[in-house]
Amino acid sequence: MLDRFRLPRRMPRSEPELPASARTVAIIMDGNGRWARKRGLPVLAGHRAGTAALRRTVEAAPGLGIRSLCVYAFSTENWSRSDDEVRDLMDLFRHTIRTEFPQLHRQGVRIRFQGRRDRVSDELLGLMTGIEEQTAGNERLDLYVAFDYGGRAEIVDACRRLVADGVRVEEIDSAALQARLARPELPDPDLVIRTSGERRLSNFLLWQAAYAELVFTPTLWPDFDGEALRAALQEYAGRRRRFGGRAGDR
């Protein structure tokens, strides 16, 4: 029985027995600082362990029926942390793109970033666009990494584009705005997971999560893995989504 839950290193095949599975999942990867503090370690150790958790989670996702995964890595508000922590996070991000993402590339993961690009170093920007181009033909899993991302900023930018594109007032609708989001191709998440016990969105996917199911788990992000993802999907499978209609109509 236990063997069934052990995740192989290689991405497994989809499991046909999984019930109504979430195809698009978004994760607020929270709790790195608390994970480190509990162990008497520097915060950076928590962020590093968080990178390993991301790798485990991405590797487990396709086998659990997930097609698109969007992870919140750094918010527009996270710049307000200490200079040291921000620098460490930028260094770690560079290191992750260089050393971890090529391995995801070999496993067929397409990587795209979502968020502002004008506040990162040229070096980091080059790495980001490089891995996006390198993985553009991959089809196993779409991974969106929300970095210097904020839902409000994204909606404000979309409004600016509506004006810049000369869209007439009567032509403005959900589709017109959606088309001008940072990543219009990202499907609306079926499920948003937040780790670490906090129960809020913290400016993540405000537009896209309109009808997402929310699952909050006390697990700190560095402890998250394929099994925790499976548990969240199982909770999702027990939910009934109504999209404003009457129960049973769908």
Q: Which does 101 bind (CB under 5 to 8 A by kind): ligand IPE, Mg ion, none?
A: none
What are the beta bridge partners of residue 111? 143
By CB under 5 A, residue 224 contacts Mg ion: no
Cα–Cα distance for residue pair 123/112, rounded to 1 Å? 17
Least Å from the CB of residue 43 to Mg ion: 10
User: Which residues contribute to the site for ligand IPE (CB under 6 A)?
Assistant: 28-34, 72-75, 78, 89, 196, 198, 200, 202
Instruction: Find the residue with minimal CB distance to ligand IPE.
Output: 33
Q: Which does 72 bind (CB under 5 to 8 A by kind): ligand IPE, Mg ion, none?
A: ligand IPE
By CB under 5 A, residue 221 contacts Mg ion: no
Angle between helices 83-99 and 43-60 (to 10 degrees): 30
Nearer to Mg ion, 93 or 101 (CB): 93
Nearer to ligand IPE, 24 or 195 (CB): 195
Nearer to Mg ion, 77 or 171 (CB): 77
| Order of all β-strands in the sheet with 213-216 | 109-114, 141-149, 68-75, 24-28, 191-194, 213-216
CA-wise closest residue to 178 among 194, 199, 164, 157: 157
Q: Which does 149 bind (CB under 5 to 8 A by kind): Mg ion, ligand IPE, none?
A: none
121 backbone φψ class: left, alpha, beta (φ>0; ψ -120 to 50) = beta
By CB under 5 A, residue 204 contacts Mg ion: no
By CB under 5 A, residue 154 contacts Mg ion: no
Residue 236: φ, ψ to 5°: -60, -45
Nearer to ligand IPE, 36 or 127 (CB): 36
Nearer to ligand IPE, 34 or 55 (CB): 34
Separation in Å, CA 44 to CA 32, 84, 93: 8, 10, 12
Cα–Cα distance for residue pair 163/167, rounded to 1 Å? 6
By CB under 5 A, residue 213 contacts Mg ion: no
Q: Is 91 a catalytic residue?
A: no
Going residue by residue from 17 to 36, which x/- string records binding to Mg ion, judged by CB under 5 A?
Answer: -------------x------
CA-wise closest residue to 157 among 145, 147, 168, 165: 165
Active-site annotation holder among 78, 138, 188, 225: 78
Q: Which does 78 bind (CB under 5 to 8 A by kind): Mg ion, ligand IPE, none?
A: ligand IPE
Q: Which does 94 bind (CB under 5 to 8 A by kind): Mg ion, ligand IPE, none?
A: none
Q: Is 203 a catalytic residue?
A: no
Q: In 10 A of CB 2, how many CB atoms?
A: 5
Q: Tokens representing 167?
A: 């869209």
Interacting residues toward Mg ion by CB under 5 A: 30
Catalytic (active-site) positions: 30, 78
